[in-house]
Amino acid sequence: AQTVTQSQPEMSVQEAETVTLSCTYDTSESDYYLFWYKQPPSRQMILVIRQEAYKQQNATENRFSVNFQKAAKSFSLKISDSQLGDAAMYFCAYRSSPTYKYIFGTGTRLKVLA
Partner 1 sequence: DVKVTQSSRYLVKRTGEKVFLECVQDMDHENMFWYRQDPGLGLRLIYFSYDVKMKEKGDIPEGYSVSREKKERFSLILESASTNQTSMYLCASSLRQGLGGYTFGSGTRLTVV
Which of 110, 113, 101 is closest to 32 using CA atoms? Answer: 101
At its nearest, how many Å lie between partner 1 and the CB of residue 70? 17
**Closest C-alpha to 108, from 79, 88, 93, 84:** 88
The verdict on 107 binding partner 1 (CB under 8 A) reads: yes
Verify binding: residue 44, partner 1, rule CB under 8 A. yes
- Reduced to 3 states, what is the DSSP secondary structure of residue 86? helix
Does residue 45 interact with partner 1 by CB under 8 A? yes
Give the residues lining the site for partner 1 (CB under 8 A): 4, 6, 9, 33, 35, 37, 42-47, 50, 52, 91, 93, 100-102, 104-107
